[in-house]
Amino acid sequence: MLYLYAIIHADAPLPMLRGLDGVVPFALPCGALAAVVSVHPGAAPQPTAEYLWQHEAVIEALMDDRATLPARFGTLLPDHAAVCGALYSHAAELEADLVRVGGRVELGVRVLMSNPERADAARGAGSEQPHQGDNAASAGRNYMLVRLAEEQRTQTQRQHARALAEELHAALAVGADESVCRVLVTEQMILAGAYLVERAAVAGFQRRCAALGTAYPALQLLGTGPWPPYHFVSTGAASERAQSLIAEVANERI
């Protein structure tokens, strides 16, 4: 079996690399493209932190001097013919992607917002429980009014958080060639964005992120990367699951 790390142009030799289990990857030319692969016996590797980092290290080394499309973790193909068949069937799209990501990296930004008002609302609802002396109808009505007020506050807060996330994403996207984002990811994480940025513009993007953090002191902006452009491979070569696993390990760098 051949384990796939990335897709590159076929016109440059590889640097010395170590892939999964220390096996040396090699380039498998398929027309104008090449697949960076290594021999892998047995079943697909499990997505452990060690394997994820070995996979990531190969891709990052390739990115140092060439356009690179990262493959999703765990991609196995049976032989040379299968690899070239996959590349030939998407050749035009892959070549266009290589042009898009050439000289660029992916930067991630997460925006966290603590929301004490929501906690206060919950505490307020708990303190407004009916008194023993109230009759059943009055107690039920009071309880429902409290719940309704709490839900309205929560909805208003979510609308505010969404607008704030979209505002921040727009400000960050100005410094990127392309961007994608999710808003209201969790109760505290209002934005998770990925930004395709030219290498020469990375420092400027990071300064922009820091300035936004200063301008919004109630928020915490966490930057990650530079990373391979996992979110900007249009063929889906980088799966959401693989990216989320790599992001979990990446948290250690923040």
Which residues pair with residue 6 across a beta bridge? Answer: 36, 70
Q: What is the pLDDT of residues 232-242, one digit of tens each?
A: 887 544 444 34
pLDDT band per the 50, 70, 90 thresholds, residue 113: confident
Nearest to 37 by CA among 84, 103, 101, 96: 84
Share of the chain above pLDDT 70, in %: 76
The pLDDT confidence band at residue 248, using thresholds 50, 70 and 90, is: very low
Query: Which residue carries 């050749």 as its tokens?
Result: 91
223: left (phi over 0), alpha (psi -120 to 50) or beta: beta
Which residue, 224, 220, 166, is CA-closest to 195? 224
Residue 199's nearest CA partner among 179, 174, 225, 223 is 225
Average pLDDT of the chain, as a whole number: 82
When pLDDT is averaged across residues 102-108 and rounded to a whole number, the result is 94
| C-alpha to C-alpha distance for 154 and 62, rounded to whole angstroms | 47
What are 117-171's pLDDT values in tens digits? 543 333 344 444 444 555 666 666 666 666 666 666 667 777 888 899 999 999 9
